């Protein structure tokens, strides 16, 4: 992402569950605006993300705090994330074939 080192905030604790059997140490944290939806119906929030230096099948992992901030509901069976907005429901999703391809590549 070419994030300048000066924009990263230090992190002292590792996280678990991303790399099987080991803990991962982030390079730092960064506050970034995240927007879901389109011009007619959207939601934006600033999320604190941990920056890591390893390949994985995900570009970003949203946790419970992110879901709460967006008031979003996940459905892992259908690979969907939904959140209610004034102009309707925003649905973010993927396909099983894309998820499988990402998993195989990393």
Q: pLDDT tens, 37-96?
A: 999 999 999 999 888 887 776 667 788 888 898 899 988 888 899 999 989 999 988 888
Question: How far apart are alpha carbons 82 and 90 in whole angstroms?
Answer: 6
Residue-level pLDDT at 47: 92
Helix (H, G, I), strand (E, B) or coil at 99: helix
In the prediction, which pLDDT does 88 show?
Answer: 92
Beta-carbon contacts of residue 68 (< 8 Å; ≥ 6 apart): none
How crowded is residue 24: how many other Cβ atoms within 10 Å of its Cβ? Answer: 15
- pTM of the prediction? 0.71
pLDDT of residue 57: 66
> Which is nearest to 82 in space by CA: 46, 49, 56, 43?
43
Phi, psi at residue 26, to the nearest 5°? -70, 155
Structure tokens at 97: 């074939």
């Amino acid at each position: 992402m070419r994030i300048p080192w000066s924009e990263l905030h230090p992190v002292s604790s590792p996280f678990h569950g991303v790399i099987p059997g080991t803990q991962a140490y982030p390079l730092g944290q960064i506050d970034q605006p995240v927007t879901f939806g389109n011009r007619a119906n959207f939601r934006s929030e600033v999320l604190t993300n941990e920056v890591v230096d390893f390949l994985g099948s995900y570009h970003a992992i949203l946790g419970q705090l992110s879901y709460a901030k967006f008031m979003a509901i996940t459905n892992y069976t259908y690979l969907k994330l939904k959140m209610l907005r004034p102009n309707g429901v925003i649905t973010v999703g993927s396909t099983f074939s894309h998820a499988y391809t990402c998993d195989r590549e990393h």
